[in-house]
Amino acid sequence: MSIAFNSSYLDEIQTAIRSRPIPWDGYVRANLLTPDEAALIKTIEKQSPEARKETVKKDLTHYATSFVSLLRKIPREDVAKYILSFVASLVQELPEFAQAMLELSKLDSDSPFGPLLKLLESEDEQIQLLAVKSIVVLLADSKTVDLTTEKYAAQYLQFVGLLIGSSASVQVQDVGTVSLAVLLSNRSYRPLFWKFNSELVPKLLDIIKADKGGLHLQYYTLLVIWLESFDNKAAHQLVSSFSELIPTLLQAARTSVKEKITRLCVAIIVNVLKAAPKDTVASLLLNQGQAVFKNFSDRKWTDEELIEDIEVVYTQLNEEVARMTTFDRYYAEIKSGKLSWTPAHKSEFFWQENVGQFKDDDWKVLKMLAGIVKSATDPTVQAVACSDVANVCKLLPDAIQVLQDDGAKLKIMELMSSDNSEVRFEALKATQVFVAQSLK
């Protein structure tokens, strides 16, 4: 699968760079360029893109060698930008040139990536972005990915984390995500990408959640995750290690007005569902995924694959819900730490039928609930947790001592002073249960 480097922002930069006159003869007199190097550039600088490609085609090795040599030695930023603007275009538009660049490694192991990676250290953003485009297109075009190529790709991946961070502009984030999609179109790099998952995946999810960069940025960010989700290890850990993945995808799919965004979100869910069915189903159910996919199944779509994928996910969710007991669903909610007012919490029948399970395995479930009480900051989670504690202690007075030893009882009493009225109310109710049980 081949993906073109599609960035209007970078296209505008390249056009602006080439519109500025460069005093090539003056640079020759200043010994910054040789007469042959200046002549090489002057031959192609005024040509149309098609004519330029034909010129370069006639002597691919010469142009590849000359451009890398120039990028290695040029001290001036304007010349570096000018050369990079040609290289960035030619590696994408002329596959033969990209291969000629890659062939240079047979003569010099540092070429072509060494000089290009060095340019990432520039303080000039345009140089950095043009170097990124050149590097990633060449990496993606590599027919074999050996240890040396992986080393260069790792240096690029370390740098691209800066491009997609929250401090970068949306235009720069866009270039960063497009470059990642181009790289991952070559499946050989997917395991390497996953070595950087702790740095890159949270930033990608933040971009999707923020939804401030427009459709193009949203699409390519999702495309990166979709491509990576074809790697089985990555697909499994996307769910198990990143709890925000499923709610982020559901939100993006549910709110998008573009079918292609929903298509990618659902396709990612299908991939992770295949790799990690138990974790994925649990996360979907905890985040109202069944309701979301019920809505999707009732809507009209034009994409046949999207329709099939929705049916796959919705059917599996329904089958899992049919198998699960009420306590299974409650336990999954406790494990997630994301408590909400689902029916079980207010059902007297639920507590009468299931309270014994809170005592099993040395009060395992009660201690999990106590952990939520102590760590939660969300008012709804705090209120629900206090309510659940009250329900357990009404029926199992011995639970109060467990909560006291754990420190959760004191935390509940402190929550009676919460700024949130619902939290105060539920904490008070739980405290009243503690007092009532102590008087018996």
Instruction: Indicate the domain borders of the chain.
Output: 1-161, 339-438
Q: What is the mean pLDDT of residues 259-273?
A: 96
Q: In the prediction, which pLDDT does 386 show?
A: 96
**What does the mean pLDDT of the chain come to?**
92
What would the two tokens of residue 26 be? 């003056």
Q: Write out pLDDT tens, residues 167-210.
A: 779 999 999 999 999 999 999 999 999 999 999 999 999 999 98
Q: Write out pLDDT tens, residues 1-32.
A: 678 899 999 999 999 998 888 888 888 898 88
pLDDT over 70 at 356, yes or no: yes
Least confident range from 97-111, 127-141, 315-329, 338-352: namely 315-329
Least confident range from 275-279, 343-347, 383-387: namely 343-347
Q: What is the mean pLDDT of residues 124-151?
A: 91
Q: What is the mean pLDDT of residues 216-230?
A: 96
Q: What is the mean pLDDT of residues 312-333?
A: 86
| Burial of residue 204 (number of CB atoms within 10 Å: 0-12, 13-18, 19+) | buried
Question: In CATH, what number does 339-438 get?
Answer: 1.25.40.150
Q: In the prediction, which pLDDT does 2 show?
A: 75
Q: How confident is the model at residue 390 (pLDDT cuts 50, 70, 90)?
A: very high
What would the two tokens of residue 65 be? 């060698």
Q: In the prediction, which pLDDT does 310 show?
A: 96
Q: What is the mean pLDDT of residues 44-57?
A: 90
Q: In the prediction, which pLDDT does 107 show?
A: 85
Q: In the prediction, which pLDDT does 41 show?
A: 86
- Pair 183, 155: CB distance under 8 Å: no
What would the two tokens of residue 4 be? 């073109």
Cis peptide before 23 (omega within 30 of 0): no
What would the two tokens of residue 328 be? 């299974």
Q: What is the mean pLDDT of residues 147-155?
A: 91
Q: What is the pTM of this model?
A: 0.80
User: How far is Cα 344 from Cα 398, in angstroms, rounded to an integer?
Assistant: 22
Please give the CATH architecture assigned to the domain spanning 1-161: Alpha Horseshoe (1.25)
Q: How confident is the model at residue 288 (pLDDT cuts 50, 70, 90)?
A: confident
Q: What is the mean pLDDT of residues 29-56?
A: 88
Q: In the prediction, which pLDDT does 1 show?
A: 63
Q: Write out pLDDT tens, residues 246-262.
A: 999 999 999 998 999 99
User: How far is Cα 269 from Cα 248, in angstroms, rounded to an integer?
Assistant: 11
User: How far is Cα 160 from Cα 322, in angstroms, rounded to an integer?
Assistant: 44
Q: How confident is the model at residue 375 (pLDDT cuts 50, 70, 90)?
A: very high
Q: In the prediction, which pLDDT does 14 show?
A: 92
Q: How confident is the model at residue 84 (pLDDT cuts 50, 70, 90)?
A: very high
Q: Which residue has the higher pLDDT, 75 or 76?
A: 76
